A and B are shown apart, each in its own frame.
Chain A
Amino acid sequence: MTARVGVVVFPGSNCEYDVVEAVEAVGGTADLVWHGDASVSGFDAIVLPGGFAHGDYLRPGAIARFSPVMGAVAEFAAAGGPVVGICNGFQVLTEAGLLPGALQKNAGNKFVCAPVGLRVESASSALTNRATVGAVLRIPVNHGEGNYTCDPETLRAIEANGQVVFRYVENPNGSMGDIAGVANAAGNVVGLMPHPERASDLLLGSADGRVLLESLLEAARPRARSQPA
């Protein structure tokens, strides 16, 4: 059975349709999930897309993390389900405590919107199981608060555990250790600032994001098989 991806829509999300389209382009099926729904049953993977959930008021992700759907996402993640946060979705996952660290204002206060080189650092996450460690993907970033920050102890731990999934080839925002994406210890929850869905077709300038979305479908497959057709 085809893996079914739930794409969560918060008030202010703006990349949800891009994610649906990109997931379908690599052979999955995808549906939107309203943030007020308290369930994600029937989905084999969850994506929190980019945007400005709740206007980024207080802090990006600070209000979205209390949406009813986030309880269900946390349970899904705890049960080993693949969960990916892209850009604002990454910010929501750190605020929710599902990923370590925080994203703060870019160094130099600059909103960055450009394709960047993204080096794959781990191939054992839900978003990189089909990628090659060391491969450099060309994928756009589009954010003002993507400066990855954590305390030194957390940094040592995530480096030692292989939880740093992506690094920038050239750091666009001041992130510690050039970190562009991290995973939880189990590797099933992944967040990254760049937008793989915007690099899913050569017409968009790059199709390098496809291998990441294919990885997500691969991670979702065991669940897809176990559900009645």
Chain B
Amino acid sequence: MKFHVAVEVRLREGIADPQGQTIERALPALGFDGVEGVRVGKMIRFELDAPDAAGAQREVDEMCERFLANPVIEDVEVTLT
């Protein structure tokens, strides 16, 4: 079975996000007031061939743990469709 995988990698809560802070400070200059809590992450998308959803999930979890994210500073959210 072919799965569409989306891995959202984001900085863990409590880890400072210099990019997010810069964007947050820039928005009011464009007239967008009231924005708070801007966090910048990345989205990694790919297709994966796996026998079933559980197997695909296991494989993606391992990819995240070993490579796609750094658990010291990042969390991931995996979406399989």
**One of B19, B22, B68, B73 near A149 (C-beta < 8 A):** B73
The answer to whether A108 and B18 have CB atoms under 8 Å apart is yes
What is the chain A residue whose CB lies nearest that of B23? A109
Give residues of chain B (28-67) contacting chain A, Cβ–Cβ below 8 Å: 67
Residues of B within 8 A of A66 (CB): 67
The answer to whether B73 and A104 have CB atoms under 8 Å apart is yes
Q: What number of B residues sit within 8 Å (CB to CB) of A?
A: 11
Residues of A within 8 A of B19 (CB): 105, 109
Residues of B within 8 A of A147 (CB): 16, 18
Asked whether any CB of chain A lies closer than 8 Å to the CB of B1, the reply is no
Q: In angstroms, how far is the closest chain A Cβ from the Cβ of B61?
A: 17
The answer to whether A107 and B70 have CB atoms under 8 Å apart is no
Asked whether any CB of chain B lies closer than 8 Å to the CB of A202, the reply is no
Residues of A within 8 A of B22 (CB): 108-109
Residues of A within 8 A of B18 (CB): 105-109, 147, 174
The answer to whether B16 and A95 have CB atoms under 8 Å apart is no
Mask for B1-37, Cβ within 8 A of A = 1, else 0? 0000000000100011011001000000000000000
Binding site for A on B (CB under 8 A): 11, 15-16, 18-19, 22, 67-68, 70, 72-73
Can you list 17 residue pairs at the A/B interface with Cβ under 8 Å? A62-B67, A95-B70, A102-B70, A102-B72, A102-B73, A104-B11, A104-B15, A104-B16, A105-B18, A105-B19, A109-B19, A109-B22, A147-B18, A149-B15, A149-B16, A174-B16, A174-B18
With A104-B16, A149-B73 already in contact, 18 other A-B pairs whose C-beta atoms are closer than 8 Å: A58-B68, A59-B70, A66-B67, A102-B70, A102-B73, A104-B15, A104-B73, A105-B19, A106-B18, A107-B18, A108-B22, A109-B18, A109-B19, A109-B22, A149-B15, A149-B16, A149-B72, A150-B72
